[in-house]
């Protein structure tokens, strides 16, 4: 018999079946079929016989004119695969009737972490990605500020014990901020991500955009609350943005924090370097109140990388978390299809778009289609482009549901990403609650700081500036900063 991987692939293609449909036909998860076709693993003898039986069954149904009937069948009869796969397909399910991946289980395990005894307030909180990371690190988020109603609703669903301290931060008075100190006592950490449209490529990069100065509201709150440490997030391109006087905007930010009493540094960080299955570059500012600590400000060391199977000498990096890691247990869906998970459903795309993309391999774009007639008439080769299974996903933006967006196409299914896939790539657990319209939900997810990255940064701040006091059982929130 010819090489097994080639035989499986040829048998599938001879029947004009996509990998997704073939996997469904034989009752197998698509990621395993992909591994077989790539020669990464081989089916057992029993599994090979099951494939042959499924193919015979399919051919008989085709002869009888029942092609559509058998393809709609969830799990073909008389097909037997490994015990682990059978359990995974049919038995190992949680209360929502869907199996969890080890990646998802890891995220859920953070819910049982002990508390640190520290508290924090979140500004520009969005739907709560940053806050969830701090919660996982054991920090009590006592209050938050968020302007957008729909994002605030999601936040409140997931953090019912965190108090909304206001909506428009520009309208919150100094007197009201002073009241927060009376209500919560001393605040250990202030964190958040001011809106970035004025800085990002997605916006107009207008140095006069008033949203560029929202960081000043963050500085104002810090100057009044005097938290021990601040953590602020923004887009990577802020490092090349100019202020109205043509000075670097980052220089102004550092100067303003210095005048507010904080030593501050910034550094670009990519979420994929810390276990998030997504390439997402952002800039983070860490500030420490000058009279609180004289320790140097450093950023966390990378924990993940890509070694192409040959680890560098002495390297302790883990392999990047990939799109496959995050989503392999989710049901295989084509355009317009639904699943048992209410947030894992595929947008229905136009037939001509499906035609452009259906034969494009993972990592490829419809702009590269061998048939010029099937190429988009406009756009860049990053649009209508498939992700790659064994790499982190591209940045999850607010338009991840658009198949024409940048790298929004599933590696093998011809459709854009589902909400569940986007949540997983952003490192939100499956227990995270959503509400609002689909557009509002997608916007909230795309704007969020990945919780897993937030957890890493929060733990880094705790270990860098608070651990000695935690170990000695001192209570920082009762300390009194210099006025």
pLDDT the model gives residue 69: 55
For residue 285, give the H/E element and its range. strand 281-289
Distances (CA, A) of 321 to 31, 38, 317, 389, 429: 15, 20, 12, 10, 15
How far apart are alpha carbons 393 and 405 in whole angstroms? 13
For residue 409, give Cα distances in angstroms to 353, 357, 359, 472: 11, 9, 13, 51
Walk me through the domains of the chain, giving residue ranges and CATH numbers.
1-57+80-85 (1.10.260.40), 108-307+449-478 (3.40.50.150)
Are 267 and 299 in contact by the 8 Å Cβ rule? The answer is yes
184: Cβ contacts below 8 Å, ≥ 6 apart:
119, 121, 142, 143
**Tens-place pLDDT, residues 113-165:** 778 899 999 999 999 999 999 999 999 999 999 999 999 999 999 999 999 99
Give the number of other CB atoms < 10 A from CB of residue 252: 18
Residue 444, classified by CB atoms within 10 Å of its CB into exposed (0-12), middle (13-18) or buried (19+), is: buried
| The pLDDT value given to residue 90 | 40
Of 5-9, 22-26, 115-119, 452-456, the range with the lowest mean pLDDT is 22-26
Average confidence (pLDDT) over 294-308: 87
Whether the pLDDT of residue 464 is over 80: the answer is yes
Residue 82 has pLDDT above 50, yes or no: no
Residue scoring higher pLDDT (197 or 431): 431
Best CA proximity match to 275, nearest among 298, 311, 300, 308: 300
pLDDT at 315: 61
Which of 107-121, 378-392, 416-430, 468-482 is predicted most confidently?
A: 416-430
CB 375: neighbour CB atoms within 10 A? Answer: 17
214 and 124 in contact (C-beta within 8 Å)? yes
Asked whether the predicted pLDDT for residue 451 surpasses 70, the reply is: yes
Question: For strand 304-305 and strand 318-319, is the pairing parallel, antiparallel, or unpaired?
Answer: parallel
Mean pLDDT (the chain, rounded): 84
Strand pairing class (119-123; 163-166):
unpaired
Query: What's the pLDDT at 399?
Result: 95
pLDDT at residue number 294:
92
Q: Which has the minimum average pLDDT: 234-243, 293-302, 465-474? A: 465-474
Instruction: Give the neighbor-by-neighbor strand order of the sheet with 140-145.
Output: 163-166, 140-145, 119-123, 189-192, 229-235, 281-289, 262-270
- 57-61, 182-186, 310-314, 339-343 — most confident range: 182-186
Contact predicate 119/184, CB 8 Å: yes
Helix, strand, coil tally for the chain in percent (to 5): 40, 10, 45
- Where residue 432 falls (left for φ over 0; alpha for ψ -120 to 50; beta otherwise) is beta
Considering only residues 381 and 320, tell me which one the structure prediction assigns the higher pLDDT: 320
For 259, the token pair is 């005048």
- Is the CA virtual torsion 234, 240, 243, 249 positive or negative? positive
Decide if pLDDT at 314 tops 80: no
Distance of CA 348 to the CA centre of its chain: 23
pLDDT recorded at residue 243:
77
Q: How far apart are CA 425 and CA 397, in angstroms?
A: 11
| Spatial separation of the C-alpha atoms in residues 253 and 372, rounded to whole Å | 49
Q: Which residue would you say has higher pLDDT here, 256 or 77?
A: 256
- pLDDT band at residue 65, thresholds of 50, 70 and 90? confident
Residue 196 annotated in active site: yes
Distance CA 452, CA 274 (A): 8
- 185 — pLDDT class (breaks 50, 70, 90): very high
Beta bridge partners of 264: 287
Of 84-93, 110-119, 130-139, 331-340, least confident by mean pLDDT is: 84-93
Helices (H) and strands (E) in the chain, counts: 18, 9
Q: Rounded distance, CA 234 to CA 286, Å?
A: 12
Q: What percent of the chain has pLDDT over 70?
A: 83
- Rounded to whole angstroms, the Cα distance separating 407 from 130 reads 24
Residue 354 structure tokens? 């499906």
Q: Which residue has the higher pLDDT, 298 or 206?
A: 298
Q: Which residue has the higher pLDDT, 106 or 298?
A: 298
- Give residue 239's pLDDT band: very low, low, confident or very high (50, 70, 90): confident
Side-chain half-sphere CA neighbours of 13 within 13 A? 8
- Give the mean model confidence (pLDDT) for residues 57-68: 75
Question: Above 90 in pLDDT, residue 5?
Answer: no
The neighbour count for residue 216, using CB atoms within 10 Å, is 15
Check residue 468 and give its pLDDT.
82
- Of 242 and 367, more confident: 367
Quote the tokens at residue 76.
């073909």
pLDDT at 21 over 80: no
> What's the confidence (pLDDT) of residue 206?
52
Task: Please tell me which residue in 127, 196, 264, 425 is annotated as part of the active site.
Answer: 196
Q: Which tokens hold the place of 360?
A: 């494009």
Instruction: Say how far apart CA 121 and CA 180 lie, in whole Å.
Output: 10
Give ∠ CA 7-12-13 in degrees, rounded to 5: 100
* Strand 140-145 versus strand 163-166 pairing type: parallel
Specify the pLDDT at position 479: 46
- In the structure encoding, which two tokens stand for residue 26, read together? 């034989």
278-288 pLDDT, tens per residue?
999 999 999 99
The mean pLDDT of 102-122, rounded to a whole number, is 85
Mean pLDDT of 413-424: 97
- Mean of pLDDT values over 298-307: 88
| pLDDT tops 90 at residue 263 | yes
> pTM of the prediction?
0.77
Return the pLDDT at 205: 46
- Position 183 confidence tier, pLDDT thresholds 50, 70, 90: very high
């Amino acid at each position: 018999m010819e090489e097994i991987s080639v035989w499986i692939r040829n048998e599938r293609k001879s029947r004009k079946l996509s990998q997704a449909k073939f996997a469904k036909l034989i009752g197998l998860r698509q990621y395993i079929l992909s591994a077989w076709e790539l020669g990464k693993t081989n089916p057992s003898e029993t599994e090979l016989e099951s494939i042959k039986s499924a193919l015979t069954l399919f051919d008989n149904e085709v002869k009888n004119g029942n092609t559509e009937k058998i393809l709609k069948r969830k799990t073909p009869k008389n097909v037997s695969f490994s015990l682990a796969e059978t359990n995974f397909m049919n038995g190992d399910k949680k209360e929502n009737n869907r199996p969890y991946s080890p990646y998802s289980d890891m995220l859920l395990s953070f819910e049982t972490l002990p508390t640190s005894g520290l508290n924090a307030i979140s500004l520009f909180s969005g739907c709560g990605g940053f806050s969830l990371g701090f919660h996982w690190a054991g920090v009590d988020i006592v209050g938050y500020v968020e302007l957008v109603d729909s994002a605030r609703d999601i936040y409140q669903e997931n953090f019912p014990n965190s108090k909304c301290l206001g909506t428009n931060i520009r309208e919150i008075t100094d007197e009201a901020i002073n009241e927060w100190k009376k209500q919560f006592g001393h605040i250990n950490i202030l964190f958040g991500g001011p809106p970035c449209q004025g800085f990002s490529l997605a916006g107009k990069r207008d140095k006069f955009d008033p949203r560029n100065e929202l960081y000043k509201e963050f500085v104002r709150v810090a100057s009044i609350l005097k938290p021990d440490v601040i953590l602020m997030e923004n887009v990577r391109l802020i490092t090349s943005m100019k202020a109205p006087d043509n000075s670097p905007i980052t220089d102004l930010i550092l100067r303003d924090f210095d005048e507010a009493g904080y030593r501050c540094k910034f550094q670009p960080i990519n979420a994929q370097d810390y276990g998030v299955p997504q390439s997402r570059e952002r800039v983070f500012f860490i500030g420490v109140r000058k009279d609180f600590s004289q320790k140097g400000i450093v950023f966390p060391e990378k924990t993940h990388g890509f070694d192409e199977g040959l680890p560098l000498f002495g390297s302790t990096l883990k392999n990047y978390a990939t799109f496959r890691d995050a989503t392999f247990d989710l049901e295989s869906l084509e355009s317009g299809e639904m699943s048992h998970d209410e947030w894992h459903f595929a947008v229905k795309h136009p037939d001509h778009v499906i035609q452009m993309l259906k034969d494009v391999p993972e990592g490829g774009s419809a702009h590269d289609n061998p048939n010029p007639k099937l190429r988009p008439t406009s756009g860049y080769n990053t649009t209508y482009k498939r992700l790659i299974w064994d790499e982190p996903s591209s940045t999850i933006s607010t338009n991840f549901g658009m198949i024409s967006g940048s790298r929004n196409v599933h590696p093998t299914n011809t459709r854009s990403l589902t909400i569940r896939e986007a949540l997983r790539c952003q490192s939100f657990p499956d227990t995270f609650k959503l509400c609002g319209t689909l557009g509002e939900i997608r916007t909230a997810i795309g704007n969020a700081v990945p919780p897993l990255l937030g957890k890493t940064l929060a733990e880094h701040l705790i270990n860098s500036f608070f651990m000695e006091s935690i170990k000695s059982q001192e209570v920082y929130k009762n300390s009194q900063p210099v006025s």
